[in-house]
Amino acid sequence: MASGDAGQEHRMDIVSQGHTLVLHGDFDVRSTWEVRNAIYERIDTFDDDVVIDMTDVSTIDLTALRLLAVATRHAWLSGHHLTVRNPGPAVRRMAHLARLAHAIEVERVAATA
C-alpha cells in the first residue's frame, strides 16, 4: 500500500480539441509534465495560436503557473500566442499572489449586450 495519497486519486484530464487544450482537474506539480508536453506539442504542430481552456481547473500551484509563463514566452518566441481561457477566481488569485499574472495572457472575451 502506497503512503501519502491513500484514498485520494489525483486527476488531470487533458482533452485536445485542435489547437485548444481543455484541462479538467487540479493543475499542480503532479500534472505539469503531462500538460507541458501537450502544450509544446500544440505549439510545434499548429500554425494557429494555442488556447488553454481552464474552465474546469479548480486549483493551480506555483509550478503550474511557472509552466504557463514559460510556455507563453516560448510560444511568443516561436511566433505564436498562448492564451488561457476562463481561469477561475482561484487561478487568477494565485497568479497575482505569485506575481505571474503579467506573464500569462488571458483570452479577452467580448462583452455580450
The answer for residues whose C-beta is within 8 angstroms of residue 61's C-beta and 6 or more apart is 27, 28, 29, 94
On the question of pLDDT at 3 being above 60, the answer is: no
**Which tens digits make up the pLDDT trace of 89-108?**
989 999 999 999 999 999 87
On the question of pLDDT at 72 being above 90, the answer is: yes
CA distance 14 to 35: 7
CA distance 90 to 111: 22
* Mean pLDDT of the 35-45 span: 92
Handedness of CA 47, 11, 89, 36 (dihedral sign): negative
pLDDT of the residue at 47: 82
* Mean pLDDT of the 58-69 span: 94
Alpha helices in 1-113 (DSSP H): 32-45, 62-77, 89-97
CA distance 94 to 101: 9
